[in-house]
Structure formats: C-alpha cells, structure tokens
Amino acid sequence: MENWVFPPKFDPNYLPDAASPYWYPVRETMDPREREKAVITRLREVMQYAYAKSPFYKNKWDEAGIHPDRIKSLEDFEEVPVVTKQELRAAQERAAPFGDYLCIPESEVHRIHGTSGTTGRPVIFSIGRDDWDAIGNAHARIMWSFGIRPGDIVFVGALFSLYIGSWGILVGAERLRAKCFPFGAGAAGQTAIAARWLKLVKPKAIYNTPSYAMHLAEVAREEKIDPREFGLKIMMCSGEPGASIPAIRNKLEETYGAKVIDCGTMAEMTPWLSSAGNSATNLGMILWQDIVYHEVCDAKTFKRVPYGSQGTPVYTHLERTSQPMIRLASGDLTMWEEGPSPCGRTYPYLPKGLYGRIDDMFQIRAENVYPSDIESVVAGLPQYGGEHRVIITRSGAMDELFVQIEATPEVYFAGDSAIKVMRDQASTLLQRGIGVRAKVEILAPGTLERAQHKARRVIDDRNLFASHQGKAR
C-alpha cells in the first residue's frame, strides 16, 4: 500500500499521471479483505498512540476494560465505546481550550476551527501542521477522483470562517496544484457578484451546499445570466442532504450542466471528504476506508450492521495525530453496500448518501418522518419554485404536518386552478412518499428566505397551525 505509515508522511510533490483515475492505485483497488488486515493493524496503532498521549482516551478505555493491544480484529474494535459530541464539549470544559483528547503539545497547533456555539459551548477543532498537510493530501487524492486536475479552476462558494468545509476544499485544491478561487459566501449582494465572476472566469469546479447552488441559480437568472454560461463541469456539495436525493441532484445537473458530487462526513472528522461520490458515481458516496475507517452501526448497540442495512455512521481517523477521533458517533442515517463502486474502487459505498439525522426525525400520527423524505418529494414537483418550509403543528389533540411550497411564476400567476392542481398533486405525492397526510400551501415565488449556506426548513411549532388553517389557497 502506497504511503501506508503512521504518523503519515507524504511526498508533497507527488502527482499521478493525468490519465490515471487513481491517486494510489494499489490502495484504492486492492482486495478489501487485504485492506481490512492493514486497517486492523492501523486501528491498533492509532489507539496505542491515543492511549499514550490522551487522558481522555486512556480514562475512557480503562473504565470500559479496553486496551489497544487487545484489538486484533474488526469485531474486537466494535467493543470500543463510541465518542459523542457531548463528551467532546465536556472534555474541553475540563481541559480548556482544546480538551484532554489533544494528542500533540499546544505549541504545535497550526489551525483552529470549530462550531459557531450559537446553541451552546462551541467545540474547538485544533489541527497540527503535519495533520493539515495530511488533510491536504487526502482531499487532493479524493478530488482527483472527482476529475479535478492540476491547473483547473476551483471556485469555493461557501463561508470562510470557523466552518472548516471551505478550508478543506481549499487545501485539497492547493495540494492538487489547481487554480484556487476562494470566493466565499454569505455577505449581502455577494451571490450576484459570484454569478458575474463565474460567468467571467468559467471554473471547472465549484464547491457549495445544495441550497446555495439553487439560490445561486435564481440570482444568476435575475442578473440575466443562464447558469450554464458558467461552464461548470463539477459541482461538489456538502453540508446538508440533497446531492444524493435524485430530484435535487437532477435539478442541479439540469440547471448547471455539471456533474453533481455528494460528499462529506463531519467537521470533527476532517479530512471530511473521506465519504464522497466521484466522476463515475450517479448517486451516493464511497467510503475511503484507508483514510478514515467508516462503520455503519446500529444506533443503540453501535455494532456494525450487515451490508444492505440502515444504521448510523461511526468514524475513526487513520491519519490524524492532533485530535484523533476514535469511534465518533455521527447521529446521521445511511445505508451501506459492500462494493466495489462503479469507479472500480473496492471500498464500501452509501448508495443514498447521508439522508438524515436521527435527531431530525419527527413523528406525525405514529409515523417516522425525515425532512429529506419531504424534500425529495417536493423538489421533484415540476412546478417547484425553489424553496419550501415544513411546519409541525398541532390541531386539537392531533399533530399535523403543514408544508409551504413555492410555485414557479408560470404556475402561481396562472390563477387558482393551476395552484389547486399543484396543491392536490403535492398532497397526493407527500402522502404516498412519507405515509402521512400533509396540509399544503402554495406560495408565490420568492416568498421564503433563501439560504446563503445551509438551509433550515423545519419549524416545530405546535401553536402555528391555527393561524395558518385559513390561509391555504
């Protein structure tokens, strides 16, 4: 296996032949059973390293009766207790600012990122210089599989702030020797400027969230620019479900004429591109098991579920030395298959990507409903105007689902009969798709606020239903 050492060391000048689909052909196409043997050894090495360097891991594993030296199989590794985000926050309160799971001296911290802290104490991500180089190498390797090559222009249309997604794409593009355009997002009027720059520069690839991509297309049209004039070939999407939802993916590909690639795990797991589609996949993401070890587990026992089953991803770094995550529970939902994937890589893959979060699920009349299921139905409507909201409400003793959907101008301004047709169609498809009757309101185009980054489309407010009951057209 190429460059298979821990701590990792990479040749910063290495590039594959431009015609090769693979960065490391052996590692990416080898017999998965042979790779698993190497991964078991690496898992033991990473645990031994963390046990010696981190009071957090030593105390956690001692309490559970786990010692790294006894990890001889993937089944042994399943006995290692998972780490939760709550534990990370508690560790940073106990040993501020970086937590007692930091495994390098504080003087060696090179980058600081983190969560915003708007809903509680922020979690700080501290990354050593060697780790930042390893992240760049891993992301370059994965972006190579997208079809990005040295000299291509990569436009980063996402926030440059604590949010690590933009920076991860940037460092990967820099390592790949691409032309980097860190444009950003979020400022007033910036999206219109982005549309003009994209038409002028015509980058090969863009990185954004699916919601921002839809917003960008709307703004471009307001500026009298067809999004296909950008000349994009590759659209990398992360930060929210969408790029593996067929209705949304198809709409984006039709709008931009670009290959849409779903990617991303968690900010704590950077290199977060370790789960990503590529130029040969139609939907979903493959799992780069020699960069981050991915398990799909039962949400209660955290034991791996069989291929073909649904569970929650659990992640372990194989190349991080600063704040290594070892069995970090994600809280996301997915289903995995064994592989190989259509690109020839022998990794497992997620055919539907990450399609929801356990804590995003809500119940309506005893039915489990995920926002991504609603989005899949709504975005597939031919009359869909680009945005929607989901309101969970209460009428008397019953929970109700209220869905507001923008129509296209052609439908909305055609009058009540066209609106009724759309509303009836949406109601029927929602009940068929999610198993729950929803009250639907059709809105004028441009009514709902657009996302400058990640969309927030679900409102759980049991007091709103009465005020909306008489408003639906």
Q: Where do the domains of the chain lie, and which CATH numbers do they carry?
A: 1-359 (3.40.50.12780), 361-468 (3.30.300.30)
Longest dimension (CA), the chain: 71
The residue behind tokens 């600063």 is: 322
Name the phi and psi angles at 427, rounded to 5: -60, -45
- Based on its alpha-carbon atoms, the radius of gyration of the chain, rounded to whole angstroms, reads 23
Cβ(313)–Cβ(266) below 8 Å: no
Please give the full DSSP string across 444-459, using - where no structure is assigned.
Answer: -TT-SPPPSSS---EE
The residue behind tokens 């709008």 is: 255
DSSP label of 120: S
Strand ranges inside 64-128, DSSP E: 109-114, 124-128
In sequence order, the β-bridge partners of residue 458 are: 390
Residue 438: exposure state from Cβ atoms within 10 A (0-12, 13-18, ≥19): buried
Helices (H) and strands (E) in the chain, counts: 14, 21
pTM attached to this predicted model: 0.85
Cβ(392)–Cβ(457) below 8 Å: no
Which tokens belong to 62? 């001692």
pLDDT tens over the chain, length 473 residues: 999 999 999 999 999 999 999 999 999 999 999 999 999 999 999 999 999 999 999 999 999 999 999 999 999 999 999 999 999 999 999 999 999 999 999 999 999 999 866 556 789 999 999 999 999 999 999 999 999 999 999 999 999 998 899 999 999 999 999 999 999 998 989 999 999 999 999 999 999 999 899 999 999 999 999 999 999 999 999 988 889 889 889 999 999 999 999 999 999 999 999 999 999 988 899 999 999 999 999 999 999 999 999 999 999 999 999 999 999 999 999 999 998 988 999 999 999 999 888 877 787 766 778 888 898 899 889 999 989 999 887 666 667 889 999 999 999 999 999 999 999 999 999 988 888 888 999 999 999 988 777 777 888 765 544 455 545 55
d(CA 12, CA 33): 29
d(CA 217, CA 82): 41
Cβ(310)–Cβ(303) below 8 Å: no
The length of the chain in residues reads: 473
| Helical segments of 147-245, H only | 164-175, 190-201, 210-222
Peptide bond into 340 cis (omega under 30): yes
